[in-house]
Amino acid sequence: MTAWRKSSYSGSSNNCVEIGRGVGIRDSKAPATHLPVSAAAWSAFLRSHRTNR
């Protein structure tokens, strides 16, 4: 079973994106489905986000 986690920026909101280590990302309103994302792609996304802030 994957431990899903949401951003601390989401607060108590249920409208958020969650990440699951080694699995991908999902919408908290539709937890039965997820989008697979590789570790390399996730790292590239985070690097890009940090660079463009």
For residue 18, the enclosing domain spans 4-51
| pTM exceeding 0.75 | no
Tell me how many domains the chain contains. Answer: 1
Interval 1-53: pLDDT, tens? 678 888 777 777 777 888 888 778 888 888 888 889 988 888 898 888 877 65
- Token pair for residue 8? 């601390």
Residue 53's pLDDT is 59
Please state, as a whole number, how many other Cβ atoms lie within 10 Å of the Cβ of residue 18. 19
Residues in contact with 31: Cβ distance below 8 Å, sequence separation at least 6, in sequence order? 4, 18
Q: Using CA atoms, how far apart are residues 37 and 19, in angstroms rounded to an integer?
A: 10
